[in-house]
Amino acid sequence: QQQVKQSPQSLIVQKGGISIINCAYENTAFDYFPWYQQFPGKGPALLIAIRPDVSEKKEGRFTISFNKSAKQFSLHIMDSQPGDSATYFCAAYGGSNYKLTFGKGTLLTVNP
Amino acid sequence: NAGVTQTPKFRVLKTGQSMTLLCAQDMNHEYMYWYRQDPGMGLRLIHYSVGEGTTAKGEVPDGYNVSRLKKQNFLLGLESAAPSQTSVYFCASRDHRDRRISLGGYTFGSGTRLTVV
């Protein structure tokens, strides 16, 4: 059972464009939603995270939008740059367990 | 501050051989995790530990064993390697304090690329 569904699987954007990655979750006990960025040959690194008591969080060019009623959240990358090319994972945490549940990842390519 | 260190970085095994992957963290984190990453499958949890001397199974534990004898180390063992265990393995650790305060998330190592032939 996949508890966090991520789309699209891959995304190609032109430099300066907006990249949007979407995730949906099922478990209403989730209460922490981070996004991780992974460059080739490296481990994932925390990019930005949000709690469900806010609808949006912005850090520089990266914004998380959260819709609690729809159980969906998304990552928006404004003014996308070639250096943003990486794999992005959404995740969710909460309930009685001690672990993050990850989406399957989105490979973002930003063309110059 | 090294964070999470994984050794080795690369390894080729023959089917049936055994090996141990080492994860070491210097952040005094209580929680540690082993994931495997395969194309199109995302990150799948193998085993995890919520403190020294504790371990628990994740989504894909079969064929793997773990030990957490010291707080800073989390070992992943492959008892009898199979080609299906060809993957990139990541270790991660997390601060045990209230995540709603820290929102610190996981700290990942740089991975071990394992090929079983």
Among A94, A98, A31, A93, which residue's Cα sits nearest to residue B56? A98
Taking contacts as CB-CB distances below 8 angstroms, the residues of chain B near A45 are 108
> Which tens digit of pLDDT belongs to each residue from A38-88?
999 999 999 999 988 899 999 999 999 999 999 999 999 999 999 999 999
The pLDDT score that the predictor gives to residue B86 is 97
The answer to whether the CB atoms of B43 and A93 lie below 8 A apart is no
In this complex, how many residue pairs, one in chain A and one in chain B, have their CB atoms less than 8 Å apart? Answer: 54
Contact B43 A31 (CB under 8 A): no
Return all residues near A82 (Cβ < 8 A) that are at least 6 apart.
A15, A110, A111, A112
User: Is B22 within 8 Å of chain A by CB?
Assistant: no
- At residue A1, does pLDDT exceed 60? no
What is the structure's pLDDT at B7? 97
CA distance B31 to chain A (A): 8
CA distance B77 to B27: 23
Q: What is the pLDDT of residues B82-93, one digit of tens each?
A: 999 999 999 999
Residue of chain B nearest A8, judged by CA positions: B40
